[in-house]
Structures are given as structure tokens and as C-alpha cells.
Amino acid sequence: MIVRFGGEIGIKSEWTRRIYERILFKNMQETLECQSIAYDRIVRRRGRFYVKTHKTQEATEKLTRVFGISSVSPAVETSSDIKEIVQTSLDMASLTIQAQSGFAVRCHRVGKHSYSSIDVCREVGKQVLDSLKERSVYVNLDSPDHALEIEVRDAEAYVFVETLRGAGGFPVGSQAKTVALLSGGIDSPAACWLVMKRGCPIVPIYLDNSPLTDEATRTRALDIARKLFEWSFGHPRKVYIVPHGANLQTFVNKAPRRLTCLLCKRMMYRIAERIANLEKAEGIVTGEAIGEQASQTMTNLRVLDEAAKNYPIHRPLLGFDKTETEALARRIGTYEISIRKAKGCSAAPSQPATQARLAMLKEAEEGIDIEKMVDESVNHAEVITI
Amino acid sequence: MIVRFGGEIGIKSEWTRRIYERILFKNMQETLECQSIAYDRIVRRRGRFYVKTHKTQEATEKLTRVFGISSVSPAVETSSDIKEIVQTSLDMASLTIQAQSGFAVRCHRVGKHSYSSIDVCREVGKQVLDSLKERSVYVNLDSPDHALEIEVRDAEAYVFVETLRGAGGFPVGSQAKTVALLSGGIDSPAACWLVMKRGCPIVPIYLDNSPLTDEATRTRALDIARKLFEWSFGHPRKVYIVPHGANLQTFVNKAPRRLTCLLCKRMMYRIAERIANLEKAEGIVTGEAIGEQASQTMTNLRVLDEAAKNYPIHRPLLGFDKTETEALARRIGTYEISIRKAKGCSAAPSQPATQARLAMLKEAEEGIDIEKMVDESVNHAEVITI
């Protein structure tokens, strides 16, 4: 298999690129090993890896889900002897090119050989026409139904007909660790995924609102975390489960009802800051999108932010429409889990504030021992590996 | 024309929905008027507007660029008399349905009529088959080449064959104003656009690094601002141009070179905070994406953030790959402007810090009168309307 990682990794400085390549190499190994996909070895070359395996289909499927990989082509390896290239190409053509269809042959060559790329294309093209005469195939260079691609590199050659898009981004581990608020809803997993895609290992934090939510809500969040970790094999699978129901109940009892969600969120940020500090993480990821909920108006995001003094709140979904987030969640595989029935938060007020002022929140928090509540929650956090 | 705004606006509370509809109504009017597209009137109905105009093509093109609109169908209006519906449908069919193709008729009806939706479909279908006999058209309900759609609403009916996707999001003005750092590069306009899409009017701030950059860099940024404002007709087109070259030169002279970009950015944030305050804006938008540049590693974003004490830094491109941002910039219309030749910043060091610690930056800033520099820049800012 040919695994490409050009794009953004390719334009980094030599030094950075090497580090990224090493991390990607390790992530690929872990991805194949954790999922018991046998392979001989992975060979690194400039801009790509060659993975030697007989489990081509499974390996392709798994490697297109490794961040940092831009594309994958299942290929047949042969020597760079032109006769062998032609024979391998003919075998591949016979298996894939259908009757009455147009095909093209493309060749990319690196190294010293007794032939040029054009020689390869001509020879393979001629022989395919000849051997598939009965299927009435024809050459169509501009928009072929089938493209037979040959990559010659020094002593080896690779023949392939298919190139699958990879997940893109940077290899997980190339950027600093971040903690993430993970609720079990549709948005927060998509936010986590986007940050993982750009290279950050994540540590999900689930704020457990029970008894205001139920066991199913918690199970759903953990199943989502599990699904997310399928995109970062080889990295820790740690989740914090933090009791938050008592905090929420305090806000319901002691503060104006229209501020409940904002007070709850500010508390979540504070708890996340403590855990970021414990974890030596560099930021906090949330699933907020501008205007998606009353608590997420541009005005409210500002008063929320004020509660996180030491860590940036990263909101990769800021500009996403709900339909876009849902489409992404489907691609990640978390959508189906998020729409499972679970008890939603029963503390949400019917008329939440959309334009809260900081002074209102500060006043509401005044009569409440916020620091003690944070301590209590963090001290009773359960840390599990899933 | 039928203009739909369902989706996320549709699920808001009645009260919020009405406000959003009113803003959208005004934005549509302004968009048509600013671009001299004549129209009779805009009629508001639940979930949609009907725009009466003869300039259907131009109006469609412009309205698909108004945030909050989910789709637009150019249509022919007629009365809800079934004879007129059939005649209008036949005219439309004759103009659009090609020979040897399959068609479907679909009808959506609201109000009291002497016929059902199915009656309309049957009658129109039968007559189309009859009148286009020579073209050998046939009915194909599942995957038609042409769908003839009829919307009957009380006394009126609308016949259309085409539905174009709108820009989505929320109408500009439904969320609080934000300031945005706009450089003229590819990323920052895309970040601005995403935030505008979610309803925020923006006030771009261009930090002018001359003499370390040139006039072309400034012109490019202003042309981009102009292009962005084409997505928010009816809202102020104010831009701040802030002298920043002297600040940058100070950092180059007085601080470790590997910290130049970080110190420069922290300064930009501080200036943006002042302007946000002047503008009564609620946040600061930047084009940063995790790991896209050395200054944008997850670790560096944290030390940058620390400079903005009073406003959240919103980074809607956090999880975008460069190719995704480029594709978005092309759609917006800013890509072609951003790739124009202009002098890049000549102060960028060859070995920038990728894992800066806050203490390093604080130390570097210690010998520099940061507050005075911010004052100087903001006091000499030029505010223009473009």
C-alpha cells in the first residue's frame, strides 16, 4: 500500500517534518497492531510510506482514519523490471477494467532505469488493448473510467487503480495535549475530533449531572469517547468522570433560573482548568457554536470565557451550522451514539438569558462557595481508562 | 422566488425566530437594493419569503449569498386555480424538460382548495406527457432528470424546477458585533466569513506593518474587507487601519528573535481589545489554525491568549486543514485577492519558537513599554468606511 502524507506536513521545515513523520510512523504501527492487522513492515520514503501487507482492504480502511495521512492506494508490488511491471499491470487491468470502458495508464518514476515513464505507459497501454480486445476497451487519457497507475521507485514498482482520501491533518501527538468537555451530545465529539485531526491528543472530561441526568447519559458519553479514541490508536484512552449534579442543583436553588446554564458552564470551565493543570494540557476544547443554543450567543461566550483564567477555551465548531456538525459526527461515527435515548438535562430553564452581563453572573456567584464546589468535584473525579 | 430559511432558525423559540426573520427580511432588502436589483416586494410566510421580481437570475445569485437563507427557488407565480397551475406548469415543462428524459411532478399545498396535491400531480403529469409527446419524455418518480415542483399556498401557486443552496447560518446582525484581525492572507478572511455566517457583524482591524510590509499589502487587505462586506449588505463597512510597524521593529530590536511573532501577535490582541471596547464588540476573531504556523502550535496559542484579558479570542479555523481553508476562501471570493503579490512580513525569524513558555514572553516584554505602544497605535488608528 502506498500511504501519502504530503500537503501541510510536506511544507514544514526539514526538522519538523522528520518529527511529524516519526510520529505518524508510530501511529500507523499502533493502528494496525491494536486492530490485529498483520503486516510485514512499513518503509518510509520522502512524502510517503509503503506498507507491506496482505490484508490490503482492512489496512486501507484503518489507515484512512489515521490523522496526517492524505491518501492511501492499495497496490501490488513488483520489481522495476519492465517485463514484470507490464505483467503486473496486465493482471491488474484484467481484474478491474470493465467491458466498453475507457482507460488511461499513468506512470511516476524515481531513480535510474533503462526506460522512461512514457515508455512504461506506451508499453502497458498497448498490451492492455491487446489482451482485453474482447472487452472492447479503449484509451481515454482525459477522463478515463479506469486509471491504471504505476509508481516506479528504484528497484521496486507499485501498480494500483484506486486512491482513497485520508483523514488529513497532523498526526496525533504532534501537538500538545488538550482536555475536552465531552457531553455525549452531537457537537462535543465533533469538536474533539477536529482538534485531534490537527494533532492534539485529547483527555475527555465528562461532567456527570446525575441525578439530573441518568446512567444512560453517562454510558453514551463513554461510548463516544471510545469511538473517538479509534482515531488515535497508541495514545492514552483516559477519561475523567466528574460529579457535577450537586453543583448544578446549587445553581438551580440559589441563583436566578435564567442564568442556570451559564453558571453551570462557567463551573465546567473551572473544573476543566484544574484537570488541564493536572494533565499538563495546553487548552480546553468545547463543542460550542455561535448561536447554537441560548448559552452560546456571542455575548454569552464572552461571559463564559471569563471563568477560564489560565487556559484558552478552544471552540473549533464556532462557525459550523448544525447540519454541518451532524454530517461530521456521522463521518466520525459518533452521531448514532449521540442520538440514542438518554435523559437530557432537566435543569435547563425555559427562558435562558441570551445577553448576560458579567456583573449579573458575578452577583449570582457571590453567595455560593465556588472554589469549594470546584474542589469537591475535582477531588471526587473518577479517572478511567477505556 | 421562494426563499427558505428553515433549519436552525426554524427550531428557535417563537420569539427568537421572529427577531431573526425580521433581521433577515431587512438584510434581503438591503442586499437587493445595494446591488440595484429591482423587485416589487417581499412577502413573509412561515418558514419562507416570496420575493416578487422579474430579475430572477440576478436576485437568486445575490440572495444565495445572504446568511440565514437555506435555499432559493426561482419560480413562476400564478393563481391557485388548477387550470392556471396546469398551464403554468406546461409552459415551464416545455422550457425545461429535454427529449428522452424522465420527469416527476411534486406538489406541496397549504390552505383550502377544491383539489388535493395528488390531483395536481396527476393532472400536470398527464398533460405534460401529452403535450411533450414528440420529445418522448416519461415519468420517473424516483430519480427524475427534471422535477417540476408546485407549491400552492392559499390563493397563489408557484411553479419551479430548480432549488439552489443558500449560504446557511444566521442573518448578520442576529448576533453581537465582533472585531477581527484581518491580514490579507488566505486564512483571516475565511475566519471572518464563518463568524459572519453565524450572525455576527464584523469590524476588521488591519495591522499595518509598514515599512516592514508595503502599500500592496494594505491595498490587498482592504480589497478583502470589501469582498467580505458583500456578504453583509446593510451593515456598517468600517475598517480600522492601525500602525504596527514601529511595534514590530521594537520587538525585532529588543527581544529574542525567536519570540518576534509571538510578541507581535500578543500586541495585536491587545490593540484588538482596545478597539473591541471602543466598538462595544463582544469578541476578537483571528484566522489561526492549530499548527498551521510555528506561532500557532497548541502551546503557543495558550501564551498568546494570555495577552487578551477581557475578550475571548475566537478561532473558527482551529480544526481546518490548509486545503479546507483555501477551498472556503475560493467560495467566499477572497482567495484570488489573497494570492496577489505583496511584500510578506520581513520580520519573521528563521527559527521561531514553537513551544514558548509564558515566562519567556513576560521577560521579553519587561524592558518594553507595552502599554505606551498600544496607546500610540490605537491613537493613530485610521478608521475608514469602504
- Decide if A318 and B322 are in contact by the 8 Å CB cutoff: no
Domain ranges, residue A140: 77-161
Which chain A residues contact residue B355 at CB under 8 A? 176
Per residue in B290-308, pLDDT tens?
A: 999 989 999 999 999 999 9
Q: Could you tell me if residue B247 is left (phi over 0), alpha (psi between -120 and 50 degrees) or otherwise beta?
A: alpha
Residues A68 and A83 in one domain: no
Confidence of residue B58 (pLDDT cuts 50, 70, 90): very high
Give the integer Cα–Cα distance in Å for A208 and A171. 31
Give the integer Cα–Cα distance in Å for B233 and B21. 16
Residue A156 to chain B, least CA–CA distance (Å): 31
* Residue B167: inside a domain: no
What CATH number has the domain bearing residue A35?
3.30.70.1510
Per residue in B107-157, pLDDT tens?
A: 999 999 999 999 999 999 999 999 999 999 999 999 999 999 999 999 999
Residues B210 and B147 in one domain: no
Give the integer Cα–Cα distance in Å for A325 and A323. 5
C-alpha cell belonging to residue A60: 486501507
Q: What is the mean pLDDT of residues A74-89?
A: 96
Count of residues making up chain B: 386
Which of B193, B313, B319 minimises the CB distance to A194?
Answer: B319
A-B contacts at Cβ under 8 angstroms: 131
Residues A156 and A193 in one domain: no
- Hey, is the C-beta of A326 within 8 angstroms of any chain B C-beta? no
Q: Looking at the predicted structure, is the pLDDT value of residue B254 above 90? A: yes
- Decide if A175 and B297 are in contact by the 8 Å CB cutoff: yes
Q: What is the mean pLDDT of residues B341-367?
A: 91
Asked if residue B9 lies in contact with residue B68, where contact means CB atoms within 8 angstroms, the answer is: yes
Q: What is the mean pLDDT of residues B92-96?
A: 95
- Decide if A8 and B321 are in contact by the 8 Å CB cutoff: yes
- Hey, is the C-beta of B349 within 8 angstroms of any chain A C-beta? no
Q: Looking at the predicted structure, is the pLDDT value of residue B341 above 90? A: no
- Residue A204 to residues A138, A283, A293, A314, Cα–Cα distance (Å): 54, 12, 22, 14
Residues A202 and A317 in one domain: yes
Residues 301-320 of B with CB under 8 A from A: 301-302, 305, 311-316, 318-319
Q: Could you give the number of structural domains in chain A?
A: 3
Residues A361 and A232 in one domain: yes
* SS3 (DSSP) at B312: coil
What is the model's pLDDT at position B386? 93
What CATH number has the domain bearing residue B112?
3.30.2130.30
Residue A188 to chain B, least CA–CA distance (Å): 13
Kindly report the pTM of this predicted structure.
0.94
Q: Give the end of a domain, one of A17, A44, A74.
A: A74
Q: Give the end of a domain, one of A99, A127, A161.
A: A161
What is the model's pLDDT at position B10? 82
Confidence of residue A45 (pLDDT cuts 50, 70, 90): confident
Which of B193, B283, B298 minimises the CB distance to A176?
Answer: B298
Asked if residue B284 lies in contact with residue B311, where contact means CB atoms within 8 angstroms, the answer is: yes
* Residue B221: inside a domain: yes
What is the model's pLDDT at position A341? 87
Residues B42 and B105 in one domain: no
Percentage of residues of chain B with pLDDT beyond 90: 91
Q: Tell me the one-letter amino acid at B185.
A: G
- Decide if B198 and A312 are in contact by the 8 Å CB cutoff: no
Residues B215 and B289 in one domain: yes
- Decide if A178 and B298 are in contact by the 8 Å CB cutoff: yes
Residue A194 to chain B, least CA–CA distance (Å): 5
Q: Which residue has the cell 514544514?
A: A12
Give the integer Cα–Cα distance in Å for A66 and A80. 30
Confidence of residue B267 (pLDDT cuts 50, 70, 90): very high
Q: At a CB cut-off of 8 Å and minimum separation 6, what does B177 contact? A: B200, B201, B202, B203, B279, B280, B281, B282
Q: Looking at the predicted structure, is the pLDDT value of residue A6 above 80? A: no
What CATH number has the domain bearing residue A285?
3.40.50.620
Per residue in A250-290, pLDDT tens?
A: 999 999 999 999 999 999 999 999 999 999 999 999 999 99
DSSP state of A343: P
- Hey, is the C-beta of A236 within 8 angstroms of any chain B C-beta? no
Residues B186 and B93 in one domain: no
Per residue in A168-181, pLDDT tens?
A: 999 999 999 999 99
Residues A57 and A84 in one domain: no
Q: Looking at the predicted structure, is the pLDDT value of residue B171 above 80? A: yes
How much is the ipTM here? 0.93
Residues A210 and A359 in one domain: yes
Per residue in B61-83, pLDDT tens?
A: 999 999 999 999 999 999 999 99
- Decide if B198 and A168 are in contact by the 8 Å CB cutoff: no
C-alpha cell belonging to residue B150: 408546485
- B50 or B47, which is more confident? B50
* SS3 (DSSP) at A382: strand
Give me the DSSP letters along B200-239.
--EEEEEEE-TTSS-HHHHHHHHHHHHHHHTTSTTS--EE
Residues B231 and B115 in one domain: no
Asked if residue A167 lies in contact with residue A64, where contact means CB atoms within 8 angstroms, the answer is: yes
What is the model's pLDDT at position A214? 87
What is the model's pLDDT at position A245? 95
- Decide if B318 and A322 are in contact by the 8 Å CB cutoff: no
* Residue B320: inside a domain: yes
